[in-house]
C-alpha cells in the first residue's frame, strides 16, 4: 500500500514536471522527410544550427529509402498527411507533386535572391510559373581520369575530341581499358552522353530544341551522336554487358584510365583510394567550348496542408541563405545551388569552376515531363547505337518522333 | 399424434442442419475474409482504377474504356505491349522445351533409380528453394563480361571466342535469362513428373518389358499417357509463370528490359506504366491498371482453356 502511494505521488510529480517543461518551451514541431539516408548525420547537425537560432522550432529529420521515396511521399500527400517540410526532386518529378497542389508556392514568401534563374528553373512549375521549392544542389557530368595511368603511359590530358581519341588509342595499345563505361545500365549511357554530345551540338541547340525551333533530327544532333558512337572502340571488352558497379570497379582498380560519371561519384572514388582527378569532356575542335552538363538535384518544399506553415517557411528561408549553403558543401560535399558559399573541397571547387561553361543536362532538364520521356528515348537509342542495331540518323529520328508524340 | 412427432423430428433435423451450415460458414469465414481482402478486393480495385483518369496518385474523372484503348491501340504504347507480349510468348515456348523437357528427361532417368539417385534428386531441387532475388544477382555476377565466372571458364578452356557480354547483347540477353530461370526451377517439374511416374504400378511396366517393349516404347506408350495429369499441372503453371515473369528480368535487365527492350515483359511494362521510374517518367495508375486487367483476363482465359483441354485428354488410372 505504501509503495502504491509512492508510485502515485511520483506519477503526479512527473506529470507536473512535463507540463511545466511544455509551457516553458512551447515548441513547434516540424517533420522533415528526405531520401538522403546517407546524409542523416549531416542534416541533424545542420538542423541543430537552425534550432539554436530558433529555439521555438524543433525539426525531426526522417530519411526514407531512396528508390521508393517518391511513392512514399506522394502516397502520404495524397492521403492528406505527409511532412511539414520535404526534400523534393526537380523538373518533371517536382511537377508530379506540385501540379496537384501539394506544395506551397514560395515566391513572395521567401527571399530567393541568392539563387540564379537557372537553378530556380528546376523547382518552378511550368503551368503557373511559381517556385515550389528552394533548390539545394546541382550535379555535374565530368570525366574522371586516373592520374597514375596517364603519367605511367605518358599520355597528355586531352582537350579536344581528336586528342581524346588519340589518348584512348594509346591506352588501348598499351593494354589499358581507355574508358570504363558500359551499356548495361541504360541511365549511365545518358550520363556518358552528357560529357560529349553538348560540345558537338553546341551552345545554341538546347534553346532551339526546347523552343521548338528545331528537333532532334537536327544535323548538329545527328552528327554529335555519330561522333559519340566512335567511343565504343575504347570501352571495355564486352561493354554491352558492363553495368554501373563494374564500371566503378574497373576505374577504382586502376584497370581503366577514364570514367565518365557524375559529381555524385566523387565520394566513391575518394574512398576507394584511386589517384584520380576530373576534367570536362573534350571540345569538338581546338578552341571550342568545353561545356559540362549540369542539373539541379532537388529542393526543399513546404507541404501546402501543413498546420505549421509559418515555422516551415522559416526553415525553408534558412535553406536559401549562405550559411546553409556553406554547411551543405562542408558537411555533404555538394555544390550548393545558393550562391556565396566558399567551397573548400578542391574537387568540388573544380566542379564549381567548370560551371563557368555549363549546359543543361538536356533530357532530364527539358524532356522528362511527359511519356515517353526524352531520357528513356535517348537511353534506349544509345544502347541501339552502341550495339550497332541502329545508325545515328535512325536513333535521332526515333528520339524526335518519340518527343513529338509525348503527351 | 404420429404426425406431430414426425414434424418435431423433422424440425430437429432441420435445426441441426442449419446449425451445421452456420458452423461451416463460421469455419470458412477467416479464409474467406483473407481471400476477399487480399485477392478479390485488389482485383476489383484494379478494374475500378482502370476506368478513371489519373494524375499521378490523384483520381480524375471517369473515362470508361479510354485507358484500355490507350493500352491496346495507341501506337506509342502498343508497340511496347506487342514487343513485351511476344517476349513472354518466347519465354513460355523456351521454358516448355528447355526447362520442362529437361525435367522430363531427368525424371525418366531418376525413375530408374540409378546409383545415388537420392543425391541427384536433392541436387536438382536445391536451386528451387533459393530466393529468386539471390539467384538473379548471383547469375548477374556469373555473367559479368569481365569478372564473370562463365566467361572466365570459357576463356580457360580455350573457348575465348564464345565469351560474350551475355546480358548486354539483344541477341543473347533473353536467352541467358531463360536459362537462368530453367536452372532455378527445373527441380520442381522434375519432382512432379517423378512423383507421377512413381504412381504408375510397377507391374504395368514390368509386363511391358517382359513382352519385349524397348525403354523408349515404355516411356512413350505407358509412362507418358499415364503421367498426363502431372503434365497438365506443369504446362498450366509454366504458362502462368511465363506471362507473370518479373523477378529475373527485373533484377538482371532492369525496369526498361535492357538492352533496348529485348528483355521487356508484360510485368515490367505494367510496373513502369503504373508506378513510373526515375527515367521513364511519372506514374499512371489508369493505364497501368488497364494493362493489369488485360494481362489477368488473358492469363485467366488461356489457362482455363488449357486446363479443360489437357484434362479432357488425361488418361485416368483406374
Q: Indicate the SS3 state at residue A185.
A: coil
The residue assigned the cell 476506368 is: B51
Return the residue of B nearest to A177 by Cα. B146
Q: A60 — phi, psi (to 5°)?
A: -110, 120
| A to B CB pairs, distance under 8 Å | 126
Model confidence at A407: pLDDT above 70:
no
> How far, in Å, CA of B112 to CA of B218, rounded?
12
pTM of the model: 0.81
At residue A11, the pLDDT reads: 53
> Which of A94, A241, A248, A297 best probes binding to B when mutated, by most B CB atoms within 10 angstroms?
A241
Residues contacting B168, CB < 8 A, separation 6+: A182, A183, A184, A238, A239, A240, A241, A242, A387, B145, B259
Mean pLDDT per segment of 10 residues, for chain B of length 318 residues?
Answer: 67 88 91 91 89 78 89 84 95 96 94 89 92 94 92 91 89 95 96 92 89 88 88 94 95 86 93 76 82 94 92 66
Q: What is the ipTM of this complex?
A: 0.76
Determine, for residues A238 and B147 on separate chains, whether the beta-carbon distance falls below 8 Å: no
Determine, for residues B278 and A187 on separate chains, whether the beta-carbon distance falls below 8 Å: yes
> Which of A238, A295, A370 best probes binding to B when mutated, by most B CB atoms within 10 angstroms?
A238
> How far, in Å, CA of B71 to CA of B77, rounded?
6
The answer to whether B278 contacts chain A (CB < 8 Å) is yes
Q: Are A308 and A315 in contact (CB under 8 A)?
A: no
Question: What residue ranges define each of the domains in chain A, with the CATH number in brackets?
Answer: 2-138+296-349 (3.40.190.10), 140-294+354-405 (3.40.190.10)
Nearest to A383 by CA among B81, B261, B148: B261
Tens-digit pLDDT profile for residues A240-299: 999 998 999 999 999 999 999 999 888 889 888 999 999 999 999 999 999 999 999 889
Tens-digit pLDDT profile for residues A385-405: 999 889 999 999 999 999 988
Chain B contacts of A100, Cβ < 8 Å?
55-56, 58
Mean pLDDT of A53-58: 93
DSSP code string of A333-380: --EESSTT----SHHHHHHHHHGGGEEE-HHHHHS-SSSS-HHHHHHH
> How far, in Å, CA of A302 to CA of A314, rounded?
10
Shortest CB distance from A368 goes to which of B56, B58, B281?
B281
Query: What's the grid cell of residue B80?
Result: 511496347
Shortest CB distance from A242 goes to which of B145, B256, B261?
B145
Radius of gyration of chain A (CA): 25
At residue A1, the pLDDT reads: 45
Query: What's the grid cell of residue A208?
Result: 532551339
Q: A278 — phi, psi (to 5°)?
A: -125, 155
The answer to whether A187 contacts chain B (CB < 8 Å) is yes
For residue A276, the tally of other CB atoms under 10 A from its CB is 22
Shortest CB distance from B57 goes to which of A74, A241, A372?
A74
Query: What's the grid cell of residue A191?
Result: 550520363
Tens-digit pLDDT profile for residues A304-361: 999 999 999 999 999 999 999 999 888 887 888 888 888 888 899 999 999 889 899 9
Amino acid at each position: 500500500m505504501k509503495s502504491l502511494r509512492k508510485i502515485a505521488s511520483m506519477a503526479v510529480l512527473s506529470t507536473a514536471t512535463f507540463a511545466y517543461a511544455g509551457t516553458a518551451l512551447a515548441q513547434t514541431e516540424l517533420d522533415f522527410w528526405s531520401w538522403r539516408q546517407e546524409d542523416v548525420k549531416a542534416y541533424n547537425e545542420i538542423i541543430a544550427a537552425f534550432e539554436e537560432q530558433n529555439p521555438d522550432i524543433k525539426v525531426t529529420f526522417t530519411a526514407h529509402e531512396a528508390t521508393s521515396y517518391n511513392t512514399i511521399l506522394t502516397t502520404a500527400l495524397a492521403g492528406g498527411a505527409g511532412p511539414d517540410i520535404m526534400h523534393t526532386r526537380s523538373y518533371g518529378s517536382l511537377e508530379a507533386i506540385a501540379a496537384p497542389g501539394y506544395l506551397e508556392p514560395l515566391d513572395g514568401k521567401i527571399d530567393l535572391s541568392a539563387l540564379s534563374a537557372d537553378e530556380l528553373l528546376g523547382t518552378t512549375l511550368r503551368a503557373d510559373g511559381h517556385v515550389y521549392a528552394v533548390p539545394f544542389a546541382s550535379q555535374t557530368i565530368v570525366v574522371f581520369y586516373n592520374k597514375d595511368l596517364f603519367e605511367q603511359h605518358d599520355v597528355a590530358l586531352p582537350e579536344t575530341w581528336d586528342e581524346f581519341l588519340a589518348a584512348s588509342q594509346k591506352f588501348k595499345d598499351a593494354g589499358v581499358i581507355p574508358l570504363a563505361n558500359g551499356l548495361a545500365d541504360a541511365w549511365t549511357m545518358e550520363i556518358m552522353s552528357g560529357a560529349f554530345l553538348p560540345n558537338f551540338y553546341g551552345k545554341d541547340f538546347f534553346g532551339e530544341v526546347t523552343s521548338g525551333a528545331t528537333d532532334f533530327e537536327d544535323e548538329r544532333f545527328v552528327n554529335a551522336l555519330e561522333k559519340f558512337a566512335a567511343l565504343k572502340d575504347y570501352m571495355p571488352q564486352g561493354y554491352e554487358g558492363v553495368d554501373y558497379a563494374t564500371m566503378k570497379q574497373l576505374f577504382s582498380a586502376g584497370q581503366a584510365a577514364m570514367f565518365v560519371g557524375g559529381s555524385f561519384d566523387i565520394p566513391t572514388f575518394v574512398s576507394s583510394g584511386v589517384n584520380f582527378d576530373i576534367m570536362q569532356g573534350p571540345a569538338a575542335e581546338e578552341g571550342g567550348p568545353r561545356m559540362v552538363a549540369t542539373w539541379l538535384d532537388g529542393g526543399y518544399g513546404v507541404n501546402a496542408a501543413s498546420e505549421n506553415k509559418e515555422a516551415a517557411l522559416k526553415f525553408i528561408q534558412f535553406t536559401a541563405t549562405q550559411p546553409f549553403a556553406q554547411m551543405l558543401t562542408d558537411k555533404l560535399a555538394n555544390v550548393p545551388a545558393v550562391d556565396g558559399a566558399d567551397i573548400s573541397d578542391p574537387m568540388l571547387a573544380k566542379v564549381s569552376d567548370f560551371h563557368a561553361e555549363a549546359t543543361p543536362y538536356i533530357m532530364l532538364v527539358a524532356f522528362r515531363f511527359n511519356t515517353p520521356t526524352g531520357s528513356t528515348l535517348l537511353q534506349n537509342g544509345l544502347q541501339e547505337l552502341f550495339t550497332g542495331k541502329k545508325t545515328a540518323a535512325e536513333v535521332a529520328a526515333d528520339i524526335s518522333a518519340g518527343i513529338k508524340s509525348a503527351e | 399424434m404420429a404426425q406431430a412427432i414426425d414434424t418435431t423430428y423433422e424440425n430437429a433435423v432441420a435445426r441441426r442442419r442449419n446449425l451445421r451450415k452456420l458452423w461451416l460458414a463460421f469455419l470458412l469465414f477467416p479464409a474467406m475474409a483473407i481471400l476477399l481482402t487480399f485477392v478479390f478486393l485488389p482485383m476489383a480495385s484494379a478494374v475500378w482504377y482502370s476506368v478513371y483518369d489519373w494524375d499521378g496518385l490523384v483520381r480524375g474523372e471517369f473515362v470508361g474504356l479510354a485507358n484500355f484503348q490507350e493500352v491496346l491501340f495507341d501506337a506509342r504504347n502498343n508497340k511496347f505491349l506487342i514487343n513485351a507480349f511476344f517476349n513472354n510468348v518466347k519465354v513460355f515456348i523456351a521454358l516448355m522445351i528447355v526447362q520442362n523437357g529437361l525435367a522430363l528427361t531427368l525424371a525418366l532417368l531418376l525413375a530408374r533409380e540409378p546409383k545415388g539417385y537420392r543425391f541427384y534428386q536433392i541436387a536438382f531441387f536445391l536451386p528451387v528453394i533459393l530466393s529468386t532475388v539471390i539467384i538473379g544477382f548471383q547469375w548477374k555476377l556469373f555473367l559479368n563480361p569481365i569478372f564473370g565466372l562463365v566467361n572466365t571458364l570459357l576463356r580457360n578452356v580455350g573457348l575465348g571466342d564464345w565469351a560474350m557480354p551475355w546480358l548486354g547483347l539483344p541477341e543473347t540477353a533473353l536467352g541467358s535469362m531463360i536459362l537462368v530461370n530453367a536452372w532455378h526451377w527445373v527441380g520442381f517439374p522434375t519432382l512432379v513428373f517423378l512423383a507421377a511416374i512413381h504412381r504408375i504400378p510397377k507391374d504395368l511396366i514390368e509386363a511391358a518389358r517382359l513382352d519385349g517393349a524397348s525403354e523408349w516404347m515404355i516411356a512413350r506408350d505407358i509412362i507418358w499417357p499415364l503421367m498426363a495429369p502431372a503434365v497438365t499441372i506443369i504446362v498450366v503453371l509454366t504458362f502462368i509463370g511465363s506471362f507473370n515473369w518479373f523477378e529475373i528480368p527485373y533484377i538482371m535487365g532492369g525496369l526498361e528490359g535492357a538492352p533496348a527492350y529485348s528483355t521487356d515483359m508484360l510485368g515490367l511494362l505494367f510496373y513502369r506504366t503504373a508506378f513510373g521510374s526515375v527515367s521513364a517518367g511519372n506514374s499512371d495508375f489508369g493505364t497501368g491498371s488497364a494493362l493489369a486487367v488485360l494481362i489477368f483476363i488473358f492469363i485467366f482465359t488461356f489457362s482455363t482453356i488449357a486446363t479443360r483441354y489437357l484434362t479432357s485428354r488425361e488418361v485416368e488410372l483406374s
